[in-house]
Amino acid sequence: MSAPHPWLERIWSRLWETEQRGQLSHAIMLRGRAGFGKRDFAHSFISSLLCAAPNHDMACGQCRSCGLLAAGSHPDFLKIAPEEVGKSILIDHIRELGRYFALRPHYGSRKIALIEPADAMNRAAANALLKILEEPPPAGMLVLVADRPERLPATVRSRCQQYALDMARSSELIPENLDIPSRKLRAETLARAGGSPLRLKDFSEPGLAKAIDALPEAMAAVLFGSLSPLNAAAQFAKIDLVLMIDQCLRLLHEVLLLKNQASVPLAEAGRVPHASLQKMVLQLDSQKLAAFVQKLFELKQLRLSSGSLRELDLAESLWFDWQQVA
Ligand SMILES: [Zn+2]
């Protein structure tokens, strides 16, 4: 196995074959939902590209290049990331990238830069990057990793070779060694984890699973006025807020699909849409719902970027906002 996770094997082979044919673009984008191992994939792939003696498509782990990369001091590798989680990638970071690409490679034939998460670039940074993409340096290669590529300008996206990393078959996603007895239960656990195989293990914990399963009902109850936002916040106080927001987003995604009478992919994975979701569909105003989804993303960002905020305060504001969506 060369890819860092089994469900990424096929896409790994595809990329490596593209590289072997000499058709790998100077800019590639690894995109897809969180929890599928995009970051691990990017690091492994870059290691293989820089390795002096790869074993087929796998970095040897022994050469100077592999050693320098592991030590974080490879002169032909640059990682561009926000200064703190949740902050933006700024134009100064991209200027640094320009200076880096102006130099020749030290060892191999490439200088590689990883931008992660690329969707954290603000507008000025994305515009500066576009200039580099328009006139790529001969030895330069860019690897962009993005959960939400739609946040990037279309001009940037269109100049990257794109690879979706969250398209695996469900049979590839559920490791046999995870102790979940039936296929149905595994599919349900996967649905709870938002389809993300990397989170599967957390969600197989029965207490958490039960709490998460109570979420659609609580959301419906707040919407219909039979549960107060404060009581809802208290009921889920033990669940990590970011996890909670992800769960809300997942459920609202299903609600939107139901509203548009599209089929619900998670339901196909073995999960019947919750009756509470169906009730909510009739009650929701599309515009308000869109605004609420935006608020969820902002709240998540806020939580990730500041540790000093009281989690319960944020959770309460989430539930109060939700009450207004009806
Ligand atoms: Zn090596």
Q: 53 C-alpha vs ligand 1 centroid, how far in Å?
A: 5
Q: 70 C-alpha vs ligand 1 centroid, how far in Å?
A: 10
Please list the ranges in the chain whose pLDDT falls under 50: 266-270
pLDDT single digits (tens) 6-15: 888 889 999 9
Q: 76 C-alpha vs ligand 1 centroid, how far in Å?
A: 14
Q: 50 C-alpha vs ligand 1 centroid, how far in Å?
A: 7
Q: 141 C-alpha vs ligand 1 centroid, how far in Å?
A: 18
Q: 83 C-alpha vs ligand 1 centroid, how far in Å?
A: 29
Q: 194 C-alpha vs ligand 1 centroid, how far in Å?
A: 36
Cα 77 from Cα 95, distance rounded (Å): 15
Q: 45 C-alpha vs ligand 1 centroid, how far in Å?
A: 12
Q: 227 C-alpha vs ligand 1 centroid, how far in Å?
A: 59
Two structure tokens written together for 182: 């039936």
Q: Shortest CA distance to 34 belongs to which of 216, 239, 246, 211?
A: 246
Is the four-CA dihedral 315, 146, 112, 87 of positive or negative sign?
negative
| CB 129, CB 91: distance < 8 Å | no
Is the four-CA dihedral 83, 86, 90, 93 of positive or negative sign?
positive
Q: 64 C-alpha vs ligand 1 centroid, how far in Å?
A: 7
pLDDT single digits (tens) 16-60: 999 999 999 999 999 988 888 899 999 999 999 999 999 888 999
Whole-number pLDDT of residue 268: 42
Q: Tokens 């197989």 — which residue? A: 204
Q: Shortest CA distance to 74 belongs to which of 55, 104, 50?
A: 50
- Kind and range of the H or E element at 287? helix 286-305
Whole-number pLDDT of residue 182: 67
- At residue 111, the 3 state secondary structure works out as strand
Whole-number pLDDT of residue 175: 62
Which residues fall inside 5 Å of ion ligand 1, going by CB?
51, 59-60, 63, 66
Q: 68 C-alpha vs ligand 1 centroid, how far in Å?
A: 10
Residue 283: alpha-carbon gap to chain centroid: 30
Predicted TM-score (pTM) of this structure: 0.70
| CB 231, CB 306: distance < 8 Å | no
| CB 165, CB 41: distance < 8 Å | yes
Q: 320 C-alpha vs ligand 1 centroid, how far in Å?
A: 54
| CB 19, CB 49: distance < 8 Å | yes
Cα 131 from Cα 47, distance rounded (Å): 26
Q: 60 C-alpha vs ligand 1 centroid, how far in Å?
A: 4
